[in-house]
Amino acid sequence: FVVKRILKDTMANAMLVKDLAEVAKDTALLHGVQIRVHESPNSSEVVTYAPITLFPSPVPKSAFYQALAVQVHYNTLVDKISQDADFLQKALARYLRSSGLSLTWGSQLISLWFPHFPSIVLGLNRSDYMLDQKNEGCPTLKQIEINTFAASFAGLTSHTPHVHRHILKVAGCVEESQRILDNNSAAGLAEAIAKAWELYGSKRAIVMFLVEENQINIFDQRCIENELWKRNISTKRKRFRDVSKTGSLDPDRKLFVDGQEVAVVYFRNGYMPQNYQSEQDWQARLLMERSLAVKCPDIGTHLAGTKKVQQVLSQPGVLEKFFPEQPQVVEQIRSTFAGLYTLDMGPEGDKTIEMALRTPGLFVLKPQREGGGNNLYGAELQQVLQEVKGSEERMAYILMDKIHPTPVQNILLKRDAPLKISTCLCELGVFGTYVRKGREMVLNKCAGHLLRTKSSEHADGGVAAGVAVLDNPLLL
C-alpha cells in the first residue's frame, strides 16, 4: 500500500520522480552501493551506482522469516552432500558425461575430486526463492536454486538498506522506513572466513580471493575484504594465471602464492567452463584443491550445488537419507521445493519431455550454468527439447515447474535508462555460512538476505547479467 501510494504521487509529479531518483543514486554512491564500469577497452575505469530500485518492494513477513529459518538446514544439507561420494557419483555420473556441460568441463571437475575430504570446510552459500502465487491463498516460498560457489552481493546488499530508508524519509514515509531491516551480510560472510582462517592456524597466512581478469563487481568483494582487514586478516586478490605462475606446495602441502602462505582460497571465479581458458588454469585449480588451504568451495561443495543434485533431492526418501529421524527438518526443506523432474534416459525422462512439450508454459528448462540468463522458457524450451529428446544431451538439463510470483510495481534505476514505472518480479536470496573441522560443525548461521527485482518482461537473468537490480524487502 505504501509503495503504491508513493508511486501514485510520483506518476502525478515527474519532477518528484527525477528528484527522488537523483537522491537515490547519490545515496547509493555515498554508501558504497557501486560497481565498476568499463567504458571501452582503452578507456579509464569509472565507477557508478549499482542498479537499484527506487523504492523497497513489499515482501510477506511470514515467508521472509521462513526463508531465514530454513537456511541453517540447507547449510547442513550441502555439507552432508559434499561428503557423500557415493551419492554425488550416482547423481552426477550420467549428467556430467552429457555434452551439455561439455565433456571437458564435466570430466575435469570429477578428476579434481579426491577420495579424501578436507579437514576444514568453509561454506558460503545463498539459497534463492520466489513467492509462488499459482494457487489461491497465501503465496508460498519456492526455491529457485542454491548457490554454493561465489554467491555474490553480500557486500553491496549490506549497504542498500541505507538507501531505501533515506528515500522513504525524503518521500515522507518516516515510519515505513523503520520496517527495512539491517542486513550486514558482508560481516556474516567475513565471520565464517575468519573462523576458517583461525582454524588453519597460521597468523602469517593470507586469505586469497581468486578473481576474474576484469572484475565489474569488485566493490561487492571489497566489502568482505574490508571486514577481514578489520579483524587484522590479510587478503590478496589473485587470478588463475597468478597461481599458475607463482603457486607451489611445500612438503606439508601448504599452499604458497607469490611466496605467501595461503590459509583460505575464496573462489569468486571458476564456476563456468569459460572461466578456464587453458590447461594451466585447470592445473592451478588442481594445485589449490590438493593443498591444505581451506577452499571455498571445495570440489565436493561445488558439485553439491549443481542443478541435477537439486532435482535428485526432490525425489521421495532422499532428504530422509540426510536427516534420519528428523521429520520436521525434512518437512521444512521439502516445503520450499518446486516441482522438479528428471530428463534421464528411460521412461521417466520420456514422460517428462512429453509433459513439457505439451504444456511448455508451465515449466522452466534449466542447464548447468551459473551467472543468470541461461534458463529456457516457452518456444525456446520446446525447440531445445525437440533437438535433444532422443540423445543423452538431454541429461544436461533438468525441468522445473514455473513459479508465478505476484507482480509489484517499482522504478528500476539503471545507468542511462529512462525513469519509468515497471511491473516487476522479486527474488529473495538468503546467505548461509558454515565452518566444519573434522566432524564438528563449529559455525552454522543464516548470514543475511538479498532481494533482487527485475521487470516482468524478462523471463530470466540476474544483476550480473544486466537484467535484475538490487532491492530491499519492505516487510508486510
Q: Is 377 annotated as a binding residue?
A: yes
Q: Of the residues 165, 195, 307, 394, which is catalytic?
A: 307
Q: Of the residues 126, 308, 394, 436, which is catalytic?
A: 126
* Helices of type H across 368-430: 378-388
Q: Of the residues 371, 392, 393, 414, which is catalytic?
A: 371
Q: Is 331 annotated as a binding residue?
A: no
Q: In the 8-state DSSP scheme, what is residue 71?
A: H
428 three-class SS:
strand
Q: Is 94 annotated as a binding residue?
A: no
438 three-class SS:
coil
Please state, in angstroms and as integers, the Cα–Cα distance from residue 223 to each residue in 154, 156, 187, 249, following that order: 8, 7, 8, 30
Q: Is 367 annotated as a binding residue?
A: yes
Q: Of the residues 370, 394, 410, 444, which is catalytic?
A: 370
Active site residue 371: yes
Residue 178 exposed, middle or buried by CB count within 10 Å (0-12, 13-18, 19+): exposed
Active site residue 422: no
Residue 439: its H or E element = none
435 three-class SS:
strand
Q: Of the residues 314, 452, 461, 472, which is catalytic?
A: 452
Question: Are the C-beta atoms of 217 and 188 separated by less than 8 Å?
Answer: no
Q: Is 401 annotated as a binding residue?
A: yes
Q: Of the residues 25, 165, 366, 436, which is catalytic?
A: 366
Question: Are the C-beta atoms of 57 and 474 separated by less than 8 Å?
Answer: yes
Residue 103: its H or E element = helix 103-112
Q: Is 402 annotated as a binding residue?
A: yes
Active site residue 147: yes
Q: Of the residues 125, 152, 158, 177, which is catalytic?
A: 152
Q: Is 452 annotated as a binding residue?
A: yes
Active site residue 290: no
CA distance 265 to 289: 9
Q: Is 369 annotated as a binding residue?
A: yes
Q: Is 222 annotated as a binding residue?
A: no
CA distance 401 to 97: 25
Q: Is 305 annotated as a binding residue?
A: no
Question: Are the C-beta atoms of 155 and 447 separated by less than 8 Å?
Answer: no
Q: Is 368 annotated as a binding residue?
A: yes
Closest CA to 309 of 388, 381, 368, 393: 368
Residue 462: its H or E element = none
Q: Of the residues 75, 82, 98, 147, which is catalytic?
A: 147
Q: Is 400 annotated as a binding residue?
A: yes
Question: Are the C-beta atoms of 33 and 200 separated by less than 8 Å?
Answer: no
Q: Is 39 annotated as a binding residue?
A: no
Active site residue 366: yes
Active site residue 307: yes
Q: Is 41 annotated as a binding residue?
A: no
Q: Is 26 annotated as a binding residue?
A: no
Q: Is 345 annotated as a binding residue?
A: no
Q: Is 427 annotated as a binding residue?
A: yes
Closest CA to 187 of 128, 231, 121, 147: 231
Active site residue 370: yes
Tell me the binding residues for ATP. 145, 307, 366-375, 377, 400-403, 427, 452, 454, 460
Which residues belong to the annotated binding site for Mg(2+)? 145, 147, 370
Residues forming the active site: 126, 145, 147, 152, 307, 366, 370-371, 452
Annotated binding site for substrate: 126, 221
Q: Which residues are annotated as a binding site?
A: 126, 145, 147, 221, 307, 366-375, 377, 400-403, 427, 452, 454, 460
